[in-house]
Chain A
């Protein structure tokens, strides 16, 4: 199905919210189609969690139009909770540690009107998708490993078969390998259960599984698009030349930056820089030749595409620079 044929399951237009005199969300607009994964990204205090709290009808005093799970949040209020799932950042806030995984499933399922049998069947189905070992289902949650707890927590969010699943920092506090696993499980769930997901995170690696990303800063949207399009918006459409230069100094970086065909230079290591060039195919050789002519020793040159992390870094730096100029 094409995106245009899909239903918008989340639509936020001109969302504004104030806490007292503090204007915390300023003209927020974005949308998400059914079955997509939407990432709400930004540094701490950007307003990510506040947006989610508006979407799950916990902060009713907003202005603007907010549609979540196909329902108008302003009109339907907490009725919306029947159609959504939520996975908090900390498992301790989501799980009853002294109960078994199946008891947790039963309790949360029953809140959505599921019978004991229905809740346990649904729980077991999700546990299998999330590859939670069957011998742990009847163990107390407190005896499970960190990764298992996280997956049980995600399973609880899906117990009511929600139209939208909200995940708050799902990869925070887990080591690199577990982070990779969690993102894989989320992608797997999205494919198998077709649940729309909204992931609140400052972990930029999460963009790898997102169909769209909302980048926030100080309660405002900086960018909203697919990760690929956002990277494409970078100078030279996100194509980069990575140079390793012996005895790299700020003076050398300044020399490179001053070339008229160089759009942006970013130091990424002791002797490494990424250079964003106009017409990279022709100018990359020109740049290396000019550096060599100036007795600058370039030990390696590679071409590649910028990562989302790099996009985030450059975008934030440019905002800071323009703010300083003003």
Chain B
């Protein structure tokens, strides 16, 4: 009888919760409209843009025309045929992203390196390609030739892109000119984004989907408890604290589900690539959204004022981003930070989405993915328990 009454009150409290959510137009907009809009913006960029990524501007310094002394034959060679082949190839349209901006010939300008470094410092170029004096001689003699590249180390993306582009350029240089180096590595990535899918959307969605869903669920729920002043009065009716909270979880979950469906629908309209099961993707997004909601309600319950809640929201979101593994790999963090990172959602959320979307893994067929999913669920259960405990112990007086 008590359970039946309790259930009936929760259903009736839902009317209040939905009316409150409906009344807060800004939070509702942020929850329902913002994620689809942002994901659509990513999608739109992917559809209209031909650019595969940010171009890398480079300066080339060649020392190849300088003489090279070969001690075994006691001869100085002045061969410089291959550096111009390589430089011409860089100008070739095969490398739209690797743009040759400045060329220095060290045999004519002894300060080439100094000037190139200044170009790098002033962001005129992102990469210095350095062709050494023995470059042509080594190729002619069948030895491994060396090309030094000095990328702008202040940007991790530039380092990564520079290395990848240089790797491709070298491969093409070797293949086109029928040169036999000691090792030639061929790369054929699998689990990538197929030609017909929106590449930018696909790559962006693995990170942006969890961020958008968690962020908007946090925004939706952050003031839910702290701002509802008549709660103590409601507790002088037969309504119980647990029922008041349960209604909040249910109402916000329904909004969150609608939010996930809308976001994925909009993303799909712009060619979201999902190699795995859409059901698994939705399950993962619901779990991620539920985490955001649980975190929002926990912060709202802990806080005594709206300002406190907003401060805690910013702090929580900052910690989540910094310890998400995007900047420093979680396995490289110290043990304390690892424990915190694994208590936060992105440690599970990003791999979960990327494995489902790119590798077609299933939550219930792949143990690692299953435990990533369960990790989120377990943290949610802990947060619900904490929220209930704090709400129960907190004095609510009219």
Contact = CB atoms under 8 A, between A and B. Distances in A.
A79 to B, nearest CB: 8
Nearest to A53: B397
B5 A113 contact: yes
Interface stretch (A67-75, A86-94, A125-133, A304-312): A86-94
A81 B9 contact: no
A112 B236 contact: no
B12 A110 contact: yes
Given A82-B238, A94-B398, A99 B233 contact: no
A95 interface: yes
Interface string B230-259: 101110111110000000000000000000
Contacts of A90: 398
A96 B16 contact: yes
Nearest to B232: A93
B8 interface: yes
Interface string B1-29: 00001001100110110011001000000
A7 interface: no
B12 A111 contact: yes
Interface residues of B, number: 22
A99 B22 CA distance: 11
B229 interface: yes
B23 A93 contact: no
Interface string B120-140: 000000000000000000000
B398 A81 contact: no
Interface string A88-109: 1110111110110001001110
Contact of B20 (A56, A98, A112): A98
Contacts, number: 64
Contacts of B13: 110-111
A58 interface: yes
Nearest to B22: A98
A90 B233 CA distance: 11
Contact of B8 (A56, A107, A113): A113
A78 interface: yes
A274 interface: no
A103 B23 CA distance: 13
A123 B232 CA distance: 21
Contacts of A111: 9, 12-13, 234, 237-239
A78 B8 CA distance: 18
Contacts of B236: 56, 58, 81, 84, 86
Contacts of A58: 236, 397
B9 A110 contact: yes
A96 B227 CA distance: 11
Nearest to B398: A88
A78 B238 contact: yes
Nearest to B244: A111
A122 to B, nearest CB: 14
Contacts of B20: 96, 98
Contact of A107 (B5, B15, B232, B397): B15
Contact of B237 (A95, A106, A112): A112
Interface string A30-72: 0000000000000000000000010010100000000000000
A96 B234 CA distance: 11
A148 interface: no
A108 B237 contact: yes
A106 B240 CA distance: 18
Contacts of B9: 110-111
Contacts of B240: 78
B225 to A, nearest CB: 14
Interface string B340-380: 00000000000000000000000000000000000000000
A168 interface: yes
A94 B233 contact: yes
Contacts of A78: 238, 240
B229 A93 contact: yes
28 contacts: A58-B397, A78-B240, A81-B236, A81-B237, A81-B238, A82-B238, A84-B236, A86-B236, A88-B233, A88-B398, A90-B398, A93-B229, A93-B232, A93-B233, A93-B398, A94-B230, A95-B230, A96-B19, A98-B19, A98-B20, A106-B15, A107-B12, A107-B16, A111-B9, A111-B13, A112-B238, A113-B8, A113-B238
Interface of B: 5, 8-9, 12-13, 15-16, 19-20, 23, 229-230, 232-234, 236-240, 397-398
Given A93-B232, A111-B239, A112-B237, 6 more contacts: A53-B397, A81-B238, A95-B230, A110-B13, A112-B238, A113-B8
